[in-house]
Amino acid sequence: MADQEATGGGGDRPRVFSGMQPSGEAHLGNYLGALQQWVQLQESYECYFCIVDEHAITGEFTPAELPDRVFDLAVSFLAVGLDPERSTIFVQSDVPEHVRLAWIFNAVTPVGDLERMTQYKDKSSRRESVPAGLLNYPILQAADILLYRAQKVPVGEDQVQHLELAREIARRWNARFGTLFPEPQAILSQAGRIVGLDGAGKMSKSMGNTVGILDEPEEIWARVRTAVTDPQRIRKNDPGRPEVCNVFSLHQHFTPAERIPDIEGQCRAGTRGCVECKQILAENIAEHFAGTRERARELKAHPDRVREILDAGAARARREAAQTLDEVRERMGMVWRGRLQPTGRPG
Is there a contact between 168 and 132 (Cβ–Cβ < 8 Å)?
A: no
Tell me if 155 contacts ligand TRP by CB under 6 A.
Answer: yes
Segment contacting ligand TRP by CB under 6 A, of 3-11, 122-130, 140-148, 327-335: 140-148
* Distance in Å, CB of 73 to ligand TRP, minimum: 12
Q: Segment contacting ligand TRP (CB under 6 A): 57-65, 80-88, 152-160, 339-347? A: 152-160
Q: What type of residue is 172?
A: R
CB of 344 to ligand TRP, least distance (A): 50
Catalytic (active site) residue 202: yes
- Binding residue for ligand TRP, selected from 8, 9, 15, 18, defined by CB under 6 A: 18
The yes or no reply on residue 136 touching ligand TRP (CB under 6 A) is: no
Q: Which residues contact 247 (CB under 8 A, 6 or more apart)?
A: 224, 227, 229, 274, 277, 278, 281
Residue 290 one-letter amino acid: A
Q: Which is nearer to ligand TRP, 100 or 300 (CB)?
A: 100
CB atoms under 10 Å from CB of 200, counted, come to 11
Decide if residue 19 touches ligand TRP (CB under 6 A).
Answer: yes
Collapse the DSSP code of 128 into the 3-class scheme (helix H, G, I; strand E, B; otherwise coil) and give the result.
coil
Give residues 293-332 in contact with ligand TRP (rule: CB under 6 A). Answer: none
- Closest CB to ligand TRP among residues 22, 240: 22
Q: What is the C-alpha to C-alpha distance for residues 345 and 103, in angstroms, rounded to an integer?
A: 35
**By CB under 6 A, how many residues form the interface with ligand TRP?**
13
Of residues 123 and 268, the one with the C-beta less far from ligand TRP: 123
Residue 74 vs residues 19, 25, 43, 69, 312: alpha-carbon distances, Å: 12, 8, 20, 8, 13
What is the identity of the amino acid at 171?
R
Q: Is 50 helix (H, G, I), strand (E, B) or coil?
A: strand
Residues serving a catalytic function are 123, 202, 205
Site residues (vs ligand TRP, CB under 6 A)? 17-21, 52, 55, 141, 144-145, 153, 155, 159
